Structure 1
């Protein structure tokens, strides 16, 4: 048998790999297109705003994003796990009830998030961007939350039912619209407000599109009156649903404090200029993450199905194959950024951004490690260990916050880059150890896989 025949045979004998590759392919293609468009967005924005203005842009957008995510309860993950479980058991009324309950909860949380942005905008402008006059702009960008009313629940439903092609299309449309509006803002020299409005419009298109697509999918699956299904059907499962929602929200909120809000810490303890360096370093480092970012979305539903059917070999296969693919890619791109980073920054973003390079190299250590184990959080959630993820994130948050307070005043954004990498190494290592331990325990308890549903 030739090598090509072996590859073809292996491909035909692994339906889970084919399905994962198809779903990943849709999101990978859209993310690669979006990556190129995002790079152009960043170049035009950075050249027009300069280092301090670029930092202020990042501070405003992340401020709103953090508040929105803190209140969101990660309903997408809950939808994937519990709609998926009820769907596997052919309990369609409860599957619809979970989606309905998740959407209603997220709607209320989103309204609360917008209220928080409105209340906290003056403080954010004064103490983080160091310019009290920018408070109205925080509120303007905060309008994205109103478009995102049930976007997370919608995304979860589309992922669960393999509607990745629709998600990919919306992602590309958002990027194209945003770039066109940023170029218009650059040409007319509208400044920071023009750039903010460009990002706002693009995200509104994506959020509304996801919501409409999910509502259509729900109607197709459960009928036109699915939204009339009583949520009281979930009373016997209320405790585990609430526990899962609270655990995932706490876990992700802790990550927001220590990792995703890095630019806010930098701007608060240092200056918008240091925040500008940090924003560009993260943007360049994220080019490694962009092709990997869809993989948890494609992998989590498959892991959840593998656990529901007790197919532990499939679960291990997803972990092993994912690490090889993501790790190999991440190392290669990281080496490219290390060798070409300086000329890339100087030629595309101007020499004023060159101090970014040192922080970029430090960030790459943690990002490559985290990328290689991109499945770690999905594995914990699939195994019902959302509370362990919370404990790990709590530990990482304590270490990270202490590090940020100690290092930022002295080292600026370099200190934040160090904390980011250390947190990634620590958190992912602990999660992988726990996942392997729990997987071995589950294999001993349920050695025989369940039959696939008809």
Structure 2
């Protein structure tokens, strides 16, 4: 009875904490909407991948996978991801009196994104034409990549990302992406019934990606109009670095960190294709696409947590700040472990039911991929906390070390053991990433003065 009584007491305490924590309930509701919309879009996209892979076969699908990965890699390397500094500095702008400063900050981010999109488009085409053969591409693949680079002109996502996340309009973010995913699967189904070739499927994926970007941008501007924030392009930028000290430093450091991380998540397929061939790249890409279903949880949770912890840090609400990070980390670690165990036992049936029997050989790749995803998930909230604290330079130093370790491992192992080498490299990166960021956050909290420092030392993460 005493054991039951203790269990009942603990359950009552957890229930009381849940009902008394409005911020947690609100955060979980936002995360629920994002995950529901994202997983619905991801499942639709996975169906589109299944239809495409079955229609094209492993070799042609591998060429399409390399094409899509190439453009995403260029976009990640060159895009400024301006939503990070906009959220960091915009979190303290709440009233109508702050609208002029917010307009200037949004214009700063928008111009960064437009310039980055144009640069990415130009670099993507030139690099494909001049260095495509280094990736083992033939003339047909190079032409396909050049056409597909058109999507790079439309990736203006910094402004809508920052606007919708700061406003807490996560339902719009969640379910808007379903429209382009629905269009993609319908068009892929039609192409499969028509016996479409590689070019047709590539055009479908390109068109639906552009559609999704335009819908997202329109949604962001519509939200700004609802808030009464208009004429962004007319906002003066003079003195913006005085109004927001460290803006350029934060933007460059955060962008370089994301660029380096993108090099492992985007170049891995290209490395497998160059060192192990298109067929191996196709197997690896299938495993990666399924693994992204779990990885997106971390992305969506960070989308909710980062604006929240940025506001908490701006108010110096240290206890709430720590609680938000701890709760999020516990949730993500649990979800990552559950996803890994699920794939560990069901990888082969999952691949057989989706991509088809031809891709069952990717089962070991998928299992190790989920192990790496579990590590990445566990570091998402810590990364958000350090960004909110203005520790982007320390994050950058960790990313540099982890990225070097990833590429060294990948280049060493892929020629010897094939695509599994890329998965092992992801595990190496995730281990360094999670352990170093966790140590940095503990130290940062202990450095806080006065009562905040004592509370952090008594309750370390």
What TM bracket, shorter-length normalisation?
over 0.9
Report the Cα distance in structure 1 between the residues aligned to 2:97 and 2:394, rounded to whole angstroms: 29
After TM superposition, the runs of 4+ consecutive aligned structure 1 residues lying more than 4 A away are 1-9, 445-449
Contact 1:219 1:226 in 2 (8 A): no
Stretch moving more, 436-445 or 11-20: 436-445
Stretch moving more, 218-227 or 332-341: 218-227
Contact 1:170 1:209 in 2 (8 A): yes
1:137-163 CA-to-partner distances (Å, cap 9, x unmatched) read 212221112222x21222111111111
Query: Residues 259-278 of structure 1 correspond to what in structure 2 (within 5 A)?
Result: 259-278=265-284
Listed as ranges, the gaps of 5+ residues in structure 2 are 1-7, 456-461
Report the Cα distance in structure 1 between the residues aligned to 2:451 and 2:16, rounded to whole angstroms: 32
Report the Cα distance in structure 2 between the residues aligned to 1:305 and 1:239, rounded to whole angstroms: 17
Q: CA deviation at 1:440?
A: 2.4
1:24 to 10, 21, 31: 31
Report the Cα distance in structure 2 between the residues aligned to 1:109 and 1:84, rounded to whole angstroms: 24
Which residue of the partner structure matches residue 252 of structure 1?
258
The alpha-carbon distance between structure 1 residues 217 and 56, as it changes in their structure 2 partners (threshold 3 A), is same
1:392-433 CA-to-partner distances (Å, cap 9, x unmatched) read 111011111111221111111011110011111111210111
TM-score (norm 1): 0.92
1:430 to 404, 414, 436: 436
The alpha-carbon distance between structure 1 residues 266 and 215, as it changes in their structure 2 partners (threshold 3 A), is same
Listed as ranges, the gaps of 5+ residues in structure 1 are 450-454
Q: CA deviation at 1:296?
A: 0.5
Which residue of the partner structure matches residue 71 of structure 2?
64
Stretch moving more, 305-314 or 237-246: 237-246
Which residue of the partner structure matches residue 5 of structure 2?
none
2:220 to 196, 207, 214: 214
1:279 to 285, 305, 310: 285
2:383 to 358, 368, 377: 377
Does residue 348 in structure 1 map to residue 354 in structure 2?
Answer: yes
Specify the SS of the correspondent of 2:238.
Answer: helix
Contact 1:47 1:350 in 2 (8 A): yes
Report the Cα distance in structure 2 between the residues aligned to 1:350 and 1:395, rounded to whole angstroms: 38
Q: CA deviation at 1:30?
A: 0.5
Q: CA deviation at 1:227?
A: 3.4
Report the Cα distance in structure 2 between the residues aligned to 1:188 and 1:124, rounded to whole angstroms: 34
Which residue of the partner structure matches residue 452 of structure 1?
none
Query: Residues 161-180 of structure 1 correspond to what in structure 2 (within 5 A)?
Result: 161-180=167-186
Report the Cα distance in structure 1 between the residues aligned to 2:449 and 2:176, rounded to whole angstroms: 39
Q: CA deviation at 1:253?
A: 1.1
TM-score (norm 2): 0.91
Q: CA deviation at 1:237?
A: 4.4
Contact 2:318 2:452 in 1 (8 A): no
Contact 2:294 2:336 in 1 (8 A): yes
Does residue 107 in structure 1 map to residue 110 in structure 2?
Answer: no
Report the Cα distance in structure 1 between the residues aligned to 2:333 and 2:90, rounded to whole angstroms: 31
Q: CA deviation at 1:349?
A: 2.4
Stretch moving more, 32-41 or 101-110: 32-41
Which residue of the partner structure matches residue 61 of structure 2?
54
1:261-318 CA-to-partner distances (Å, cap 9, x unmatched) read 2101111122101101110111122222233431010110011011001111222212
Contact 1:170 1:210 in 2 (8 A): yes
Report the Cα distance in structure 1 between the residues aligned to 2:82 and 2:428, rounded to whole angstroms: 29
Q: CA deviation at 1:129?
A: 5.0
Which residue of the partner structure matches residue 368 of structure 1?
374
The alpha-carbon distance between structure 1 residues 123 and 276, as it changes in their structure 2 partners (threshold 3 A), is farther
Which residue of the partner structure matches residue 132 of structure 1?
139
Stretch moving more, 130-139 or 275-284: 130-139
Specify the SS of the correspondent of 1:405.
Answer: helix
What is the number of residues matched between the two proteins? 448
Does residue 199 in structure 1 map to residue 210 in structure 2?
Answer: no
Report the Cα distance in structure 2 between the residues aligned to 1:365 and 1:33, rounded to whole angstroms: 23
| Superposition RMSD in Å | 2.4
Query: Residues 257-406 of structure 1 correspond to what in structure 2 (within 5 A)?
Result: 257-406=263-412
The alpha-carbon distance between structure 1 residues 123 and 8, as it changes in their structure 2 partners (threshold 3 A), is same
Stretch moving more, 176-185 or 83-92: 83-92
Q: CA deviation at 1:245?
A: 0.8
Stretch moving more, 20-29 or 368-377: 368-377
Which residue of the partner structure matches residue 459 of structure 2?
none
Does residue 83 in structure 1 map to residue 83 in structure 2?
Answer: no
Report the Cα distance in structure 1 between the residues aligned to 2:165 and 2:218, rounded to whole angstroms: 14
1:43 to 50, 54, 60: 50
The alpha-carbon distance between structure 1 residues 304 and 238, as it changes in their structure 2 partners (threshold 3 A), is closer
Which residue of the partner structure matches residue 422 of structure 2?
416
Contact 1:312 1:443 in 2 (8 A): no
Report the Cα distance in structure 2 between the residues aligned to 1:346 and 1:397, rounded to whole angstroms: 33
Contact 1:124 1:135 in 2 (8 A): no
